[in-house]
Structure 1
């Protein structure tokens, strides 16, 4: 991998995102709206729908939630290939394909009978997730705008941060009216009618505006030191893997854990819904303060927020449930930006879609395994203990970032 990752000559100036290229804000708005809808109707679907599926099909929770884990596993295995395709063809056709795959998977959930139909639908959804979630969106922006993609990435995640706040209440409202099968079919139609037209309006590969007059081209410089690349990739991957395990676990169990703290069902849903605005708040913080800081500093801040929230919860009990959700949401929001911005800042734009695909593989595998691995803990430990353990894992993730340093060429450059 180190042979592919090279350092651009302007790396010493890579503190902030810089001005957005012409047309980048429009592209980010289109991608952000699409991502908000896609995440709401796919990744956040099981938290509300899966318990109803368990009851109606008489299936074990492990089998029903296992189908979601299998989808993440498939997405992880396909991610490196998706990165190569985005680098070769651009993101527009890949994202359009993802919409068709996701709509087909949701349609299978709604139409096929029994547990096997539920599982087959999630197999197709896994392929759609590989081609249509944040990694594909970030790779698309990186391929279009190079190092200047940091600000568009932030704009995409600002809108995408509302996915849980949209998806959970929307699914809860549709279930009594349409049932879980009708809800899945409605979501398939939503993707085809709303998301696909958004993706079709994205610029084609190579169609972005030329760089401003006087701007230096983003040519590749000499390769980064191989030892630094290997060490940095291990640390970056470790951070994102651990945080992905937390995110996957809480995306499925957060509302149940909040209820286990002693909150009523309505209060637990209300507190959980605050995660979306908190994510957006964290991304706004990154968007404003992050313009003057290196993405590594922003990632470390994000890494520290979740352990702080867990400590408040352990010390303060159920009264600290809302502060915990707010700090977790803010942390998760900045981490999502870091998934795109940190590799771009450390390793440069050359080969960026491929690098994101390779990093996505272990991250998505961790997300696939986490709900099943943590389900026994959620079932047998007090909710406060589970959330306390979450804080310890988040602290370990933060420890992966502490020894991480910028590239030697950048550290020695101007302004370091």
Structure 2
């Protein structure tokens, strides 16, 4: 990678690590204390979080279209402000109604500021060359829970959940806002020479493109939805699932902690051995990790808790990369942001339902809830094998950066 691409990757990667940690991973640590403080139940906290994830689904396409036109710098800076304001407000809520309202605001910030936005940002800056950068960004992001959960846990015990929210608001305003402000600028549309301006709308907006690629788009959206459902189910319930399998609480947390490093290892392996292969092959291989991990845990119980964490993490890490690189490889860089946002709408809706649906399955079926993972993963596997690998035209214009 060029030096400029490496610098951009590092900036976006650090931004993703801290942004995921300051929002998406908060309820797993703070939900109990928040519920007690607000006089409500933990499921109410997660209901507000699920509502935020629905807002993410609605926000993604709009943010992607803006990034396609103006670049990611102003969008990511705006989300840092939204995150900071939302976290300050979250630290002050006194009623469940206020909690839901604040999570609506944080949902807008997550929809415009997490992985899809960073992927679209680097694609807008570097076009087809962004595949390596996407891998790099997810390498940083893989450590989000590893970094944020211990920090948030420490803050919870030392200063309480409200001050923990204020700490993460400070990270957004004082660390990430200046970091994203240092990203390269994109020439405003009016300044782009006429010879560089496309004569027709980008592929994400073209009815002809959608009609000609409808089957591919639907299969891709289906597979992404399945992946996000499984991933969010595990991030919400993995320690509890391992306890149900017979592990102690301490052993369950230790095994769950292996997911983050395993995700990073999976992404390194993907880049080392499959970087010249089409991303569809990476996705087809990685999706098999979900049912394999479920089978291992079902057969060997708590003794295989660590194996479940590692196998799941390896597959989930590669799939996160594939969800960014597969549309780029298949359709090219033009219109990437909006197209990615549209592809992720059903995925985000599936993600929003995952904590409740898998939690209910775990309550009623105990370890039998793993069958839900197997069925969803098999659906994604079939969808991926129905896709045909193809390469987008190489002549994908890379926009000018100041």
TM-score, normalised via structure 1 length: 0.87
User: Which residue number in structure 2 is paired with residue 414 of structure 1?
Assistant: none
Q: CA RMSD in A?
A: 2.2
* Aligned residue-pair number: 381
1:238 aligns with 2:219: no
CA distance in 1, matches of 2:313, 2:56: 24
Counterpart of 2:17 (choices 15, 20, 36) is 36
Question: Residues 163-242 of structure 1 correspond to what in structure 2 (within 5 A)?
Answer: 163-206=144-187, 229-242=213-226
In the alignment, the residues of structure 2 paired with residue 147 and residue 22 of structure 1 have an alpha-carbon distance, to the nearest angstrom, of 16
Distance 1:181 1:375 in 2: 27
Instruction: Map 1:148-159 onto structure 2 (within 5 A).
Output: 148-159=129-140
Provide the C-alpha distance between the structure 2 equivalents of 1:193 and 1:362, rounded to a whole number of angstroms.
34
Q: Distance in 1 between matches of 2:85 and 2:209?
A: 45
Q: 1: CA distance between counterparts of 2:44 and 2:74?
A: 33
Question: Do the aligned partners of 1:47 and 1:253 also contact (CA within 8 Å) in 2?
Answer: no
Q: Which residue in 1 is equivalent to 2:389? A: 406
Match in the other structure for 2:378: 395
Residue ranges of structure 2 left out of the alignment (5+ in a row): 189-195, 394-402
Unaligned runs of 5+ in 1: 1-19, 208-216, 411-416
Aligned to 1:343, what secondary structure does the other structure show?
helix
Partner secondary structure for residue 386 of structure 2 = coil
- Please report how far the alpha carbon of residue 200 of structure 1 lies from its aligned counterpart in structure 2 after TM superposition: 1.1
Q: 1:131 aligns with which of 95, 112, 116?
A: 112
Match 2:333 to one of 337, 349, 373: 349
Question: Which residue does 1:212 correspond to in 2?
Answer: none
**Contact 1:79–1:360 (Cα < 8 Å) also in 2:** yes
- Separation in 1 of the partners of 2:363 and 2:38? 21
1 CA distance for matches of 2:387 and 2:184? 35
Q: Which has the higher contact order (CA 8 A, sep 6+)?
A: 1
**Distance (Å, rounded) in 2 between the aligned partners of 1:220 and 1:174:** 54
Does the CA contact (< 8 Å) of 2:38 and 2:94 recur in 1? no
Q: Partner residue of 1:413?
A: none
> Could you say what secondary structure the match of 1:204 adopts?
coil
Q: Which residue of 2 aligns with 1:211?
A: none
Residues 203 and 356 (structure 1), Cα distance of their counterparts in 2 relative to 1, 3 Å cut: same
Could you say which residue in structure 2 is the equivalent of 1:255? 239
The question of whether the paired residues in 1 share the 8 Å contact of 2:329 and 2:391 is answered with no
Report the CA distance between 1:22 and its aligned residue. Answer: 4.7
Which of 310, 314, 317 aligns to 2:301? It is 317
SS at the partner of 1:23? helix
After superposition, give the CA deviation of every residue in 1:374-411 in whole Å (9 maximum; x if it has no partner): 332222221x222342133112211110111024888x
Q: Deviations over 1:124-164 (max 9, x none)?
A: 10010011000000000111111110000000000110011
Q: TM-score, normalised by structure 2?
A: 0.90
Q: Tell me which of 269, 294, 303 is aligned to 1:285.
A: 269
Other structure's SS at 1:402 match: helix
Q: Decide whether aligned partners of structure 1 residues 402 and 112 sit closer, same or farther in structure 2, where only a CA change above 3 A counts.
A: same
